Amino acid sequence: MCGIVGYIARKQNPNSLKLGIEALKRLEYRGYDSAGFAFWDESKKDIFCQKAAGRITALEEKANIAVNAVALSANPLILHTRWATHGGVSESNAHPHCDCQNNIYLVHNGIVENYKELKEVLQGEGHQFRSETDTEVIAHLVEKFFQGNLEEAVRKALPLIKGSYGIAVIAKNDPQKLVAARLSSPLLLGLGENEYFVASDPSAIIAHTNKVIYLDDNEIVTITPDNFSILKEKKPEEIEWKLEDAQKGGYPHFMLKEIMEEPEAIENSMKGRLLTEDGTARLGGLQDIVTRLRRAKRMLFTACGTAFYASLVGRYMFEEYAGIPVEADVASEFRYRKPIIDENTVLLCVSQSGETADTLAALKEMKMKGVLTVGVVNVVGSTIARETDAGVYNHIGPEMGVASTKAFISQLTVMALLTLLLGRQRNLSLVKGQRIAQDLQALPEKARIILTQEAKKIKEIAEKYYQYNNFIYLGRKYNYPIALEGALKLKEIAYPIHAEGYASGEMKHGPIALADQNFPFVFIAPQDSVYEKVVSNMEEVKARRAPIIAIATEGDERIKTIADDVIYIPKTSEMLTPILSVMPLHLFAYHMGVLRGNDVDKPRNLAKSVTVE
Chain centre to alpha carbon of residue 443:
24
454-598: CATH class: alpha beta
Amino acid 143: pLDDT: 97
- Helices 577-595 and 406-425, packing angle to 10 deg: 170
Amino acid at 549: I
Pick 1 or 518 by higher pLDDT.
518
Q: Give me the mean pLDDT over the 425-436 stretch.
A: 95
User: When comparing pLDDT for 515 and 301, which is higher?
Assistant: 301
Strands 298-303 and 326-330, sheet pairing:
parallel
Contacts of 252 by beta carbon, 8 Å cutoff, 6+ apart:
none
Closest among 353, 345, 346, 310 to 330, alpha carbons compared: 310
Quick check: 155 and 183 in contact, CB under 8 A? Answer: no
When pLDDT is averaged across residues 23-33 and rounded to a whole number, the result is 86
Is pLDDT above 70 for 246? no
CB-CB neighbours of 486 under 10 Å: 29
Q: Which of 238-242, 248-252, 428-432, 433-437 shows the lowest mean pLDDT across its residues?
A: 238-242
Whole-Å CA distances, 488 to 136, 309, 403, 413, 495:
34, 10, 9, 20, 10
Q: Which residues lie across from 566 on neighbouring strands?
A: 550
Residue-wise DSSP of 414-438: HHHHHHHHHHHHTT--HHHHHHHHH
Q: Which one has a higher pLDDT value, 610 or 503?
A: 503
Query: Is residue 204 scored above 60 in pLDDT?
Result: yes
Radius of gyration, CA atoms only, the chain = 25
**Contacts for 52 with CB less than 8 Å, ≥ 6 apart:** 34, 35, 36, 58, 59, 62, 63, 91, 94
How far is C-alpha 581 from the chain's CA centre? 22
Helix (H, G, I), strand (E, B) or coil at 498: strand
Mean pLDDT value of segment 246-269:
89
Supply the DSSP string of 40-78, one letter for each residue.
EETTTTEEEEEEEES-HHHHHHHHHHHHHHHGGGEEEEE
Which range among 26-35, 388-397, 464-473 shows the weakest confidence by mean pLDDT?
Answer: 26-35
Phi, psi (deg, nearest 5) at residue 572: -155, 180
The CA-atom distances, in angstroms, between 234 and each of 201, 212, 361, 378, 448 are: 18, 10, 25, 22, 42
Contact between 568 and 454 under an 8 Å Cβ cutoff? The reply is yes
Look at 95-109, 171-185, 238-252 and tell me which has the smallest mean pLDDT. 238-252
248-446 matches 454-598 in fold: yes
Reported as a single tens digit per residue, the pLDDT across 551-576 is 999 999 999 999 999 999 999 999 99
Angle at 149 between CA 145 and CA 151, to 5 degrees: 85
Nearest by Cα to 312 from 180, 415, 389: 415
Where does residue 43 rank: exposed (0-12), middle (13-18), buried (19+ CB within 10 A)? Answer: exposed
DSSP-based three-state secondary structure for 531: helix
In a 3-state reduction of DSSP, which class is residue 175?
Answer: coil
Give residue 69's pLDDT. Answer: 46
Give me the pLDDT at residue 392, please: 94
Is the separation of the CB atoms in 360 and 352 below 8 Å? Answer: no
Q: Which CATH class is domain 248-446?
A: alpha beta
CATH superfamily, with its number, for domain 2-239: Aminohydrolase, N-terminal nucleophile (Ntn) domain (3.60.20.10)
Is the distance from CB of 603 to CB of 29 less than 8 angstroms?
no
Task: Name which residue leads in pLDDT, 246 or 577.
Answer: 577
Which residues are the active-site residues? 2, 608
Instruction: Please state the pTM of the whole predicted model.
Output: 0.72
Is the distance from CB of 234 to CB of 19 less than 8 angstroms? Answer: no
> In Å, how far are 124, 172, 475, 592 from 586, measured between CA atoms?
53, 49, 16, 10
How far is the C-alpha of 183 from the C-alpha of 364, rounded, in Å?
Answer: 13
For residues 297 and 343, is the Cβ–Cβ distance under 8 A? no
Q: How much of the chain exceeds pLDDT 70, in percent?
A: 95
- The span from the CA of 365 to the CA of 375, in Å, is 14
pLDDT bucket at 601, cuts 50 / 70 / 90: confident
pLDDT band of 151, cuts 50, 70, 90: very high
- Sequence-distant (≥ 6) Cβ neighbours of residue 216 within 8 angstroms: 182, 386
Cα→Cα distances 502→134, 279, 312, 314, 524, Å: 38, 33, 13, 18, 11
In this prediction, residue 373 has a pLDDT band, given cuts at 50, 70 and 90, of: very high
The one-character DSSP state at 588 is H
Please report, for the chain, the start and end positions of each structural domain, with discontinuous segments joined by +: 2-239, 248-446, 454-598
